[in-house]
Amino acid sequence: MYVIICMHCFCPQNYPLYIRSVPSQSELKFHYTVHTSLDVVEEKISTVGKAMAEQRELYLGLLYPTEDYKVYGYVTNSKVKFVIVVDSSNTSLRDNEIRSMFRKLHNSFTDVMCNPFYNPGDPIQSKAFDSMVSAMMVQSS
Amino acid sequence: MESLTLTDVEQKYYSDLFIYCDVDNTKKVASNGKVLDLFRAAQLSNDVVLQITELCGATRLGHFGRSQFYIALKLIAIAQSGLPLRVESLNSVKDLPLPRFVVGKNEQEARHAAMYPDTENQGPYTSVIPRPPGRVQTKKVSTHEVIQPCVPTVEPQPDTTSPVVSPHQSPPTSPHAWRKHKRQASGGAVERQPAVAGASWPPFREAQSGPVAGDGLWSAHSPPPVQESWVSFTDTPPSSTLPAMHPSSAQESTTVRTVASAATTNEIQRQASGYDDPWKITDEQRQYYVNQFKTIQPDLTGFIPGSAAKEFFTKSKLPILELSHIWELSDFDKDGALTLDEFCAAFHLVVARKNGYDLPEKLPESLMPKLIDLDDSAGVPEPAPEVGFSGSPVEVTPNKSPSMPSLNQTWPELNQSNEQWETFSERSSSSQTLTQFDSNIAPADPDTAIVHPVPIRMTPSKIHMQEMELKRTGSDHAHPTSPLMPKQPELSEEKKLAATIKFPVTTVGDGYSSSDSFTSDQEPISSAVTRQRSHSGTSPEGLKVVAPPPPPPRPHASHSRSSSLDMNRNFAAVPAGTQQQAGVVAFPPAVPPRPLATQTSVPHGHRSVDGDSLPTHTSTSPQQIPEQPNFADFSQFQAFAVEKPPEDGDKQQESVQVEKTADAAGAMRAVMSETQPEQTTATVNSAKGSTPLAPPPKPVRRRLKSEDELRPEMEDHPQKSGLVATVLATQPSIPRSVGKDKKAIQASIRRNKETNTVLARLNSELQQQLKDLLEERISLEVQLEQLRPFSHL
């Protein structure tokens, strides 16, 4: 059973760059959840205000928990947002692990960005990125 | 059978084919099936094949021995070259090209499977191998490859003859085959066409022959199958053993065979290279890539930025998605730029893709820019020869043989290296480091904020504090004397070092006051004074405050004083009797005038100076003033400043002065505060005062003098005060004579006016000094407050 249910990337304009879900449950529900979680992300990054970009933590942490799953958020310095939905049943997934997952995501995303053939704002079609996400989703289970 | 003479090439070739056909047996007898398939692969009609078999004697034997096989092969060659089949022609025909066989697909697949250790290939591999070649062959008539027998005989290395030959021989089939190869029916296996090297070989050569431009490269697709076939040929002998053998063992058999057949080293390399690593870049290819690299980036050790690489590879007309994938594969250090090795790898992949080969999921080993030094992963990969770019064929074989079977293992190794890459990049590009970088800036600020100097010397401030306190408290003169005596030089020294202005000012003031306390010794005091003056002069603000050096800087003042002195003397001469006092007394400009406030007569001018304190002390009569013991102090001051021996009265004043000094500090402030309003009033008084009045009594002058002495501008004050004092001293006698003689009055009026102007000038100067002193006092007080906590250290 996969712990990570889905992983989404959003561009600064809040439309999705990358969506990956475990193709089991109703993916639409998770899409909806993730989309609403963007509001929480926006709220978190707007509260810092003047201490912007210096002190703002990239890892946003638990955005909000529901009874079934938890949603974690992460935002880069360029306002690219990563959202991970994790199954709540697995309590062994510590915060550090989530952080490391986000770090890996960020690194892979950076690699995608470094590709001159990738235009920012395009959906991410990098195989390396896909493989990394797959590995992550498999690993955490 | 007729004797058969074969050239070495033929010998080798035939032996390879024989081994290929000799699946079961031990090099003596070839199975019929395989041989027949092989013969059919020669694209000869069945009749010809039958004829050949008959000629070689296989029909007689029922099987193909080695000799029969060789004969058959030669006959095939003859038939293919269009010559009639004759036994006699076996030996007569010279320069017979080697027979060409179109290898079946399965063989190719098997070979490819061996070369490309992709798991996905294993499927088709395993599924295809069991099929008899014939079946496969029939099915794949369209997808045949032409074996280039000439290839193994040719040196693989930059030998233009052999490479040239192959394309010429099979130009018609090449595009045909190539088109078929372009990811068709047989699925992934097709894509695993061997010899990417081969594929790119003709393009490369065409580019070589033609314009060395990217266009030439991109358009040259036709010849690849030639090389492919060549490569495939080299693998056909071992390919037969592939199903049963490990690729390494196949390699070994190849090597054994090649060694046994005394093949050239080049041949080994050819086979090995073709067998091992289709992704390997050959020398010529690499050279071409390097040239292309130079067109973009002349420095071979430099980088090609991503944008330039994008433009370059976009010319290949590959889809952006594939180019993106190629970039991901080739940019090993993920820096957004391509080094030479990365560029070559990318170019190689583009060429392969253009030729119809699918891009691998992971970068092939031979295209790795750097496998050895992972520590430099983030740095520029050394321009060392690529792993796949082997120099000697002997090395290639042992390298590749273990690598081939372990190629599957290399992928996890690469994965690990990728992970290492990832970790490295993670370390370098992690978000935390991003934020930490920012946060690193902040802590630097406090470090840089260690700016404010701490120039204060605790000890001197302590001393000053003590002095000030002592003076304020009015303790024993001995006390201030004794501690001050030894401290004075220290003070002066510290004044030198002190960065603040106040210290010189205070020290000057203190010093002066202390020097004043040393009644016995004028010289050292004056020297101390001068020393202090000099010290204060060194300090920047001290310069400003104590700036005016002794007399010379103020010629007018001195002049005025001298004039006033003269006038005082004149005045003194008139009244007669006060000369001494006039000469002696150097009246302080500030305090003394107070008692003279009432005396608005003659010494208005004087009073203007003395009038600083006059208005507030109008109560005291001028006559009483000289009697005040305070004034004696001032005269004492004056005496010291002017370096004149104190008069008797001064002596008295000295005694009093000592006391006065103790209070001078305290009095100074009061005086100074008073002088401000006094100054204003003094001017008014001076304006008012026109009647010749007796010059303000000495005590007034002395008060002024003391105040002046306490001020940092001591050198001026004594003189000024001296002048004033003399003037004032002489003046008291004036009013007495005024009423008597009109002329005398007028003269006195004139003199008074002169003194008035002098004193007015003095007044203005003193007012300015007062203002400065007040400012300094305020700053000093502030500093004292700041220093107070340190004074206890």
| pLDDT of amino acid B765 | 95
Selection from B640, B740, B634, B756 nearest residue B690 by Cα: B756
**Mean pLDDT (whole number) for A119-131:** 84
Comparison of pLDDT for B474 and A132, the residue scoring more: A132
Least confident stretch, B74-83, B233-242, B443-452: B233-242
B321 touches A at CB < 8 Å:
yes
Banded pLDDT at B786 (limits 50, 70, 90)? confident
Q: Which helix (H) or strand (E) holds A44?
A: helix A27-47
**Mean pLDDT (whole number) for B202-211:** 42
Whether B475 is in a domain gets the answer no
CB nearest B422 (choices: A54, A77, A107):
A107
Between CA B791 and CA B260 the distance in angstroms is 100
Q: Dihedral sign, CA of B781, B782, B785, B787?
A: negative
Banded pLDDT at B406 (limits 50, 70, 90)? very low
Tell me the shortest Cα–Cα distance from B334 to chain A, in angstroms: 6
Q: Of B355, B386, B404, which marks where a domain is finished? A: B355
CB nearest B324 (choices: A53, A76, A126):
A126
Comparison of pLDDT for B657 and B55, the residue scoring more: B55
Tell me the shortest Cα–Cα distance from A112 to chain B, in angstroms: 8
Between CA B272 and CA B125 the distance in angstroms is 20
Interface of B with A in 122-151 (CB under 8 A): none
- Per-residue exposure over B514-536, b if at least 16 CB sit within 10 Å of its own CB, e if not: bbbbbbeebeebbebbebbbebb
Between CA B595 and CA B162 the distance in angstroms is 127
Pairing of β A81-87 and β B102-103: unpaired
For A126, nearest residue in chain B (alpha carbons): B325
ipTM surpassing 0.90: no
- 8-state DSSP, B97: P
Residue pair B621/B595 in contact (Cβ under 8 Å)? The answer is yes
| pLDDT of amino acid B367 | 74
Query: Inter-chain contact B306–A116, Cβ cutoff 8 Å?
Result: yes
- 8-state DSSP, A83: E
Type of residue numbered A113: M
How is B231-298 classified by DSSP, letter by letter?
HHHHHHHHHHHTTTS-HHHHHHHHHHHHHHTT--HHHHHHHHHHHH-TT---HHHHHHHHHHHHHH-S
| pLDDT of amino acid B277 | 60
Query: Inter-chain contact B327–A59, Cβ cutoff 8 Å?
Result: no
Tell me the shortest Cα–Cα distance from B285 to chain A, in angstroms: 25
B521 touches A at CB < 8 Å:
no
> Would you list which residues of chain A are within 8 Å, Cβ to Cβ, of chain B?
53-59, 74, 76-77, 102-104, 106-107, 110-111, 114-118, 125-128, 131
| pLDDT of amino acid B30 | 53
Q: pLDDT tens digits for B323-363?
A: 888 888 888 787 888 888 888 888 888 888 888 877 777 77
Query: Inter-chain contact B431–A76, Cβ cutoff 8 Å?
Result: yes
Q: Among residues of chain B, what percentage have pLDDT more than 90?
A: 4
Contacts of residue B199, defined as CB under 8 A and 6 or more positions apart, other chains included, come to: B193, B224, B227, B228, B351, B352, B355, B356, B357
3-state secondary structure of B392: coil
Query: Inter-chain contact B320–A103, Cβ cutoff 8 Å?
Result: no
The CATH code of the domain that includes B55 is 1.10.238.10
Whether B300 is in a domain gets the answer yes
B362 touches A at CB < 8 Å:
no
Q: pLDDT tens digits for B708-752?
A: 444 444 455 455 555 555 555 555 555 554 457 888 899 999 999
Kindly tell me if the per-residue pLDDT of B402 is higher than 80: no
Whether B407 is in a domain gets the answer no
Contacts of B422 in chain A (CB under 8 A): 104, 107
| pLDDT of amino acid B350 | 85
**Most confident by average pLDDT, B61-75, B296-310, B395-409:** B296-310
Banded pLDDT at B80 (limits 50, 70, 90)? confident
Instruction: Please tell me the total count of domains within chain B.
Output: 2
| pLDDT of amino acid B68 | 76
Q: pLDDT tens digits for A84-110?
A: 888 777 666 677 888 888 888 888 888
Whether B713 is in a domain gets the answer no
**Mean pLDDT (whole number) for A33-39:** 85
Comparison of pLDDT for B439 and A77, the residue scoring more: A77
Kindly tell me if the per-residue pLDDT of B771 is higher than 80: yes
Query: Inter-chain contact B432–A103, Cβ cutoff 8 Å?
Result: yes
Which residues span the domain enclosing B320?
283-355
CB nearest A103 (choices: B305, B310, B430):
B430
Q: Of B355, B376, B403, which marks where a domain is finished? A: B355
Contacts of B321 in chain A (CB under 8 A): 125
Q: Tokens for B364?
A: 């092939």
Query: Inter-chain contact A54–B323, Cβ cutoff 8 Å?
Result: no
Domains of chain A in sequence order: 2-140 (3.30.450.70)
Comparison of pLDDT for B787 and B263, the residue scoring more: B787
Banded pLDDT at A141 (limits 50, 70, 90)? low
Whether B341 is in a domain gets the answer yes
Contacts of B328 in chain A (CB under 8 A): 111, 115, 126-128
Contacts of A125 in chain B (CB under 8 A): 321, 324
Q: Is B622 exposed, middle or buried (0-12, 13-18, 19+ CB in 10 A)?
A: buried
Whether B246 is in a domain gets the answer no
| pLDDT of amino acid B413 | 45
Query: Inter-chain contact B426–A57, Cβ cutoff 8 Å?
Result: no
| pLDDT of amino acid B173 | 42
Q: Of B355, B378, B401, which marks where a domain is finished? A: B355
Between CA B350 and CA B313 the distance in angstroms is 8
B361 touches A at CB < 8 Å:
yes
B317 touches A at CB < 8 Å:
no
Query: Inter-chain contact B310–A53, Cβ cutoff 8 Å?
Result: no
B430 touches A at CB < 8 Å:
yes
| pLDDT of amino acid B760 | 93
Q: pLDDT tens digits for B247-293?
A: 444 444 444 444 444 444 444 444 444 444 667 778 888 888 888 88
Question: Could you tell me how many CB contacts below 8 A there are between chain A and chain B?
Answer: 73
Selection from A140, A46, A67 nearest residue A102 by Cα: A140
Banded pLDDT at B304 (limits 50, 70, 90)? confident
**Most confident by average pLDDT, A125-129, B102-106, B466-470, B525-529:** A125-129
| pLDDT of amino acid B469 | 59
Banded pLDDT at B764 (limits 50, 70, 90)? very high
Comparison of pLDDT for B3 and B180, the residue scoring more: B3
Whether B36 is in a domain gets the answer yes
Comparison of pLDDT for B55 and B429, the residue scoring more: B55
Q: Which helix (H) or strand (E) holds A93?
A: none
Banded pLDDT at B62 (limits 50, 70, 90)? low
Tell me the shortest Cα–Cα distance from A107 to chain B, in angstroms: 6
Contacts of B307 in chain A (CB under 8 A): 116
Whether B211 is in a domain gets the answer no
**Mean pLDDT (whole number) for B638-666:** 46
**Mean pLDDT (whole number) for B612-628:** 44
For B426, nearest residue in chain A (alpha carbons): A107
Q: Dihedral sign, CA of B587, B589, B591, B595?
A: positive
Banded pLDDT at B763 (limits 50, 70, 90)? very high
Mean residue pLDDT of chain B comes to 56
B25 touches A at CB < 8 Å:
no
Interface of B with A in 248-307 (CB under 8 A): 305-307
Query: Inter-chain contact A114–B335, Cβ cutoff 8 Å?
Result: yes
Kindly tell me if the per-residue pLDDT of B634 is higher than 80: no
B687 touches A at CB < 8 Å:
no
**Mean pLDDT (whole number) for A45-62:** 64
Selection from B559, B646, B631, B606 nearest residue B730 by Cα: B606
